[in-house]
Structure 1
């Protein structure tokens, strides 16, 4: 069984890379947003109770087979930390990351985030929050908080520039000794 945590700033490609890895390793893909947020319309407005999100996540990670967890579970995902075989930390230039986020928001929500749309204000707040990732302090999801958290982890950390092609990123993860050894064990 292989357990990979792919993390980074919003827009760095954590979900995209995790989906490719899950497919190539034939393991489950889990995303922290699915556990952190209650399903609402508009989305991402109501956090799930911390105990409930951990319980749900532990249920999913205890199923047979491996998994790739994408996103950030800072301050609430501590029970998973001993399970990680590899932590992949994605970084990308802020301008490119924000361009990706804007394009993703438009593709997902269209006119809902435009002037007068029901998600206009919430989307603007999200973009402002996401843009401050590299400069915000450790009290919230930020580069500073991620770096502090990474210093406390026992699993190996693979740092990647997510401006690379997704296939190149996946290849680097799959060739990492912590993953290559687990993939070999799974085939036996």
Structure 2
């Protein structure tokens, strides 16, 4: 037992030395050329927190990427839709009180040291802009987004989006709203509002534009964390 304790103490000291070295690696220009590939491991240890916000237009892939990153890292994923909408017989039709919504999300995030948050909350209050270590902005062409939106709604509701009067109207309204994201004069969520918000936040911003794969996006996020 004593030998096991001694071994653990030595290992903890070893990790501490590696972390200190990692900080040195990050500060000294050019040192990465001397320590490849070990500097990569050292820089991984130097990452302190992981509070990531993934945002973009509807069906740009924020949820898919957030869940993939959560699975890869073991860090919990939260989605703004789960707080924006109240549970209802017809999903996504009853909005939650804004103050309650904000507090619910803040409470859930406060229980975690690290977290990933997907969705859009640029209108939820100025305080959110200072809460992230990294913001990932996803943009894909309109035609691809809308095709994915239709496929997602068909997967969720089947033929109801065409045969049920209420569901068909909700689908058409959602499709019309999402199609206006690239219209900078649209009063709802649009690309100009998102890009302006990105200039106001204090953390690192990673913009991923184009129909890239999830694996490619995960790689770019990891690289951004190590810079």
Deviations 1:8-47 (A, max 9, x none): 0001000000111111111110001001111112111111
Measured in 2, the distance between the counterparts of 1:157 and 1:83 equals: 13
Greater per-residue helix proportion:
2
Measured in 2, the distance between the counterparts of 1:64 and 1:11 equals: 27
Q: Which of 124, 134, 148 is matched with 1:100 structurally? A: 148
SS of the aligned residue for 2:136 comes to: strand
Indicate the RMSD between aligned Cα atoms, in angstroms: 1.5
SS of the aligned residue for 2:122 comes to: coil
Aligned residue number for residue 184 of structure 1: none
- Establish whether residue 65 from structure 1 lines up as the match of residue 134 from structure 2: no
Distance change in 2, residues 1:174/1:138 (3 Å)? farther
Measured in 1, the distance between the counterparts of 2:71 and 2:131 equals: 20
Distance change in 2, residues 1:67/1:77 (3 Å)? farther
Identify the structure with bigger relative contact order (alpha carbons < 8 Å, sequence gap 6+): 1
Deviations 1:77-136 (A, max 9, x none): 533321200100000010011111110110011122113343110110000000000004
SS of the aligned residue for 1:6 comes to: strand
* Greater Rg by CA: 2
What are the equivalent positions in structure 2 for 1:42-121 lying under 5 Å apart?
42-121=90-169
Task: Give the TM-score of the pair, scaled to structure 1.
Answer: 0.90
Q: Structure 1: give runs of 5+ residues left out of the alignment.
A: 182-188
Q: Which of 46, 62, 75 is matched with 1:14 structurally? A: 62
Measured in 2, the distance between the counterparts of 1:17 and 1:3 equals: 15
Contact 1:135 1:142 in 2 (8 A): yes
Contact 1:19 1:29 in 2 (8 A): yes
What are the equivalent positions in structure 2 for 1:15-34 lying under 5 Å apart?
15-34=63-82
Q: Structure 2: give runs of 5+ residues left out of the alignment.
A: 1-48
Task: Give the TM-score of the pair, scaled to structure 2.
Answer: 0.75
